[in-house]
A and B are shown apart, each in its own frame.
Chain A
Amino acid sequence: MNAILTIAGNTISEALRRKVLNAFLLGGVAVLALTFMFGQFTARQELTLIRGMGLGIITLAGIFITVILSINLIPTEIERRTIYTILAKPVNRWEFLIGKWLGAIATIGVNIVLMGVVLIIAVALKQIGAENPSNPLELLKGILMIFLQMVLLCSVAVFFSVFLTPLVNFFLTLSLFIIGNMSSFTQDLAKTGSNILVKGFFTVVHYLVPNFGNFQFTNPLVNPAVEVKSELLFLTQNCIYGLVYSAVLLILAVLIFDRREV
């Protein structure tokens, strides 16, 4: 366990040293600040825009941070040959992989939390003196969902990174993210497909491709008047889904990485 935490710690330090991540973080915060540029709208419209844009910006920044960080986790170590030094020590390959993954998750989490805090403060400030203000802490639900989405995305990228080059991994991971967000369509196609083969194909796609769309919880946060049925159950199921799917991907990654010649 110590080995995992040490590798995770090193991964965080290294990631935070990489200016590209800081640039994304600063960019995200700057764009959040831009949400104060909607002063020409009524207070209600302005809040809707800030909430919607804010969560969208966090997601977008989260995607880039996650993908760029995760696809390079293993290949960079191999390229720099630092992996040989690490694996020569009493460190299991799976510990190395999980440590890298944990480090990446922590880095992503820090970034998302920082941006989330800025958004919550922005919304709280905008609501001062407003009629029927909503609780800005409700946004934490959306921020949690974004984080879990990024955990899953990181797991996908780490899984591919053990056997693909970073460039291929980048496109494949992003493609899977887009397909996974379109799971409503795959579900509909699975139901309404023209023949059994089409139905079967989309059923498999729907249930086996990571459904990033599950984590889209922006609508009730942007429009607080809508009522979500079984909200707690939905959020809990999504948390479990994200973690279990990540576990599957990490096990597969460990099994492949274990056999890989490094």
Chain B
Amino acid sequence: MSLSGSKTNLLRGLLVPLILLVVFLQAQIDPLRRQPAIEPPQANKVIGGLKGATLPFEYMLGAVSGFRQVIAGLLWVRSDSFFHSGNYDAILPMIRLITWLDPNWLDPYATGAWHITYNFTDTDQRSDRRYLPAGVALLNEGIQSNPDIFDMYKEKGWLYYDKIKDYNESAKALEAGMQHKPDINQVGHLLANAYIRAGKVDEAEKQFADNIRLHKANLADPKANDDTKMRSGSGLKNQEGQLDKLAFRKKWRAVNVNPPIDADLKFQVRRIKPKVIEITGSWNMIGSKGFDKDKGIIVEGPVDGARLDIRLQDEGYQMPQVADFNFELDPSVMIMQDSVSVRGGKKVLKGGLYAQTKGRATFNDLAADKVGVYGFNEQDSAGLGVPLDQALAGKAQISPFGMNQLATVAYPLPYNSTAVFHPEAEVPALFNRLKNDPGKIAELTKKGFCIAVKDSQVEGTFKKEIDMSKDPKMYGFAKDKYELILSFNPRYTSDFVKDRLGWNGEGLSDKRYLDTTTIPGARILRVKIPITKDDLLGNGEKVIMDSK
């Protein structure tokens, strides 16, 4: 049966208002649909693509037909397989496309920035720092697309903290992250540490206190789940410990930085063969060997482990700020960054205890190390002192400090003791006990312990060979002029060094290389050595610079 004429006319008449309603609804839907949370504008960029990052047609068709997340997911799975097979270059265009297709997906930004800034390395595992601006740009894009989520700020803060070592920028990013319901364990804790490394100790103290307050609030929140409570509980414990340490470090570092030490940095830069340089030298790196929270530094002396940064770069290179993430590198730019640690510094004062290493490379005795007993090899210890049994027999005078050292080495404190030495009142008794214990004396003498008959100090040394010949993609040597920068920033050295040098290097000095201008508020060691292309590429050995 067909429709009657009137019904047909009714249906025809209905069409017009319904079509108008469709048009009206579309006009209402458009502004809501085009909001970034539903339809991120970046997604349309895949149509244009980027040099080296263009979607195949079928993927593009899928992406514009409502399958953005599927395509992004497939690319992400594929990039993961490339990662595991070590095909790192192939991942970069995928990250570009994924972050366009799904700009609200946080993991590709975070993993991508980590991958870019950490995983491209030379044969000796030195990161390709030309990628740092791209890594920052990618995270900035992530922030721009997800401004109300803390994760991207945290990632940016971590990149500046750990890799770029610009603690003010790190703190800035983390401060922004703190405005967006952060995970305190991740953002708040790192922010406090960024403040410390930026030399802002008072801000760090305040941040630790804030973190404690926020953790307590989480613990008191009846809506918080078990996981949140567990994390807040451990976070609270950690931050209370940190705040406690900060309080006594503040107190003692103000005192212990005086008088400033003379680092006396000396170095030689030598070309061994084309594109291979060797940096050797010494410096007087003093730190805390034994520290007591109630007394400050008990024993100070040369310490191992402080690192000298080495950076070879194009003359005048400054890390650029890149507005848009692009993984294409300028092959003419060259940056090499590495570091070398100082080792082997030693010191003994007349009447003090030292150990003869007797052909061994190092002297390993934790209890002795803690009380400032160093190992001296035969060459350094010639005429330095007498073996312990002879000293105790009267052939050398033992100083009061030496007696303290000896008592603690002979009768070590319990493993979990926070004290450095035995209490002063107990030392004479322990010393007498030792004098009447020939077995112990023989044991210690056999270990190489001696008493110094004069003062001696040997500076720590460093040596690093940097081979740039195996990685032509990273080290193109396209420019004619370079600069080699050697630097030491006390702000991010170990705490046992900072205990002596202070938060900002207040206890650091050097006649030639102290730099108080490059990093405002910090006293660092820094020397910039101009180097030519010929210096680096020439044949044969050549001393490029000798500070002596």
Interface residues in chain A, defined as those with a beta carbon under 8 Å from any beta carbon in chain B: 38, 40-42, 44-45, 48-49, 51-53, 55-57, 59-60, 87, 90-94, 131-132, 177-178, 181-182, 184-185, 187, 206-208, 211-220, 222-223, 225-230, 233-234, 237-238, 240-241, 244-245, 247-248, 251-252, 254-255, 258
> Once bound together, how far apart are the Cα atoms of A143 and B48, in whole Å?
31
B70 touches A52 (CB 8 A): yes
Q: 1/0 per position for B6-20, CB-CB distance to A under 8 A? A: 001001101100110
A selection of 22 A-B contacts at a CB cut-off of 8 Å is: A44-B107, A45-B107, A52-B70, A53-B73, A56-B67, A56-B69, A90-B1, A93-B2, A131-B228, A132-B225, A132-B227, A207-B23, A212-B66, A217-B38, A218-B66, A220-B38, A223-B106, A229-B37, A240-B25, A241-B29, A254-B3, A258-B3
Judge if B33 is at the interface, Cβ distance under 8 Å.
Answer: yes
> Once bound together, how far apart are the Cα atoms of A206 and B21, in whole Å?
14
Judge if B80 is at the interface, Cβ distance under 8 Å.
Answer: yes
A41 touches B2 (CB 8 A): no
B14 touches A220 (CB 8 A): no
A258 touches B2 (CB 8 A): yes
> Once bound together, how far apart are the Cα atoms of A49 and B75, in whole Å?
11
Other-chain residue from B18, B65, B104, B228 in contact with A219 (beta carbon distance below 8 A): B104
Q: Which residues of B contact A237 (CB under 8 A)?
A: 25, 28-29, 32
> Once bound together, how far apart are the Cα atoms of A228 and B39, in whole Å?
10
Judge if B72 is at the interface, Cβ distance under 8 Å.
Answer: yes
Q: Which residues of A contact B365 (CB under 8 A)?
A: none
Contact A52 B73, CB 8 Å, known A93-B1, A227-B148: yes
Given A87-B1, A207-B27, A216-B33, 19 extra CB contacts under 8 A: A52-B70, A53-B73, A56-B67, A60-B70, A92-B1, A92-B2, A131-B225, A181-B66, A184-B34, A208-B19, A208-B23, A211-B29, A214-B33, A218-B66, A219-B102, A223-B105, A241-B22, A244-B18, A248-B15
Judge if B30 is at the interface, Cβ distance under 8 Å.
Answer: yes
A48 touches B38 (CB 8 A): no
Contact A42 B107, CB 8 Å, known A244-B21, A258-B3: yes
Contact A218 B39, CB 8 Å, known A42-B107, A225-B104: no
Judge if B40 is at the interface, Cβ distance under 8 Å.
Answer: yes
A49 touches B76 (CB 8 A): yes
B66 touches A216 (CB 8 A): yes
Q: Which residues of A contact B146 (CB under 8 A)?
A: 225-226
Interface residues in chain B, defined as those with a beta carbon under 8 Å from any beta carbon in chain A: 1-3, 8, 11-12, 14-15, 18-19, 21-23, 25-30, 32-40, 44, 61, 64-70, 72-73, 76-77, 80, 102, 104-107, 146, 148-149, 225, 227-228
How many Cβ-Cβ contacts under 8 Å join chain A to chain B? 167
Question: Which of B28, B32, B227: most chain A CB closer than 10 A?
Answer: B32
> Once bound together, how far apart are the Cα atoms of A206 and B27, in whole Å?
10
The B contact surface, by secondary structure, is: helix
Other-chain residue from A55, A181, A211, A214 in contact with B64 (beta carbon distance below 8 A): A181
A222 touches B32 (CB 8 A): no
Q: Which residues of A contact B2 (CB under 8 A)?
A: 92-93, 258
> Once bound together, how far apart are the Cα atoms of A51 and B28, in whole Å?
28
A49 touches B77 (CB 8 A): yes
> Once bound together, how far apart are the Cα atoms of A51 and B102, in whole Å?
13
Closest residue of chain A to B145 (Cβ to Cβ) is A226
Q: Which residues of A contact B15 (CB under 8 A)?
A: 248, 251-252
Closest residue of chain B to A227 (Cβ to Cβ) is B37
Contact A222 B25, CB 8 Å, known A52-B73, A212-B66, A214-B33: no
A92 touches B39 (CB 8 A): no
A57 touches B66 (CB 8 A): no
Which 5 pairs, one residue from A and one from B, show the smallest C-beta to C-beta distance?
A52-B69, A56-B70, A223-B104, A226-B37, A234-B32
> Once bound together, how far apart are the Cα atoms of A256 and B30, in whole Å?
31
Q: Which residues of A contact B37 (CB under 8 A)?
A: 219-220, 226-229
Q: Which residues of A contact B64 (CB under 8 A)?
A: 178, 181-182, 185
Other-chain residue from B23, B70, B228 in contact with A53 (beta carbon distance below 8 A): B70
> Once bound together, how far apart are the Cα atoms of A60 and B62, in whole Å?
10
Other-chain residue from B14, B39, B40, B67 in contact with A60 (beta carbon distance below 8 A): B67
B102 touches A223 (CB 8 A): yes
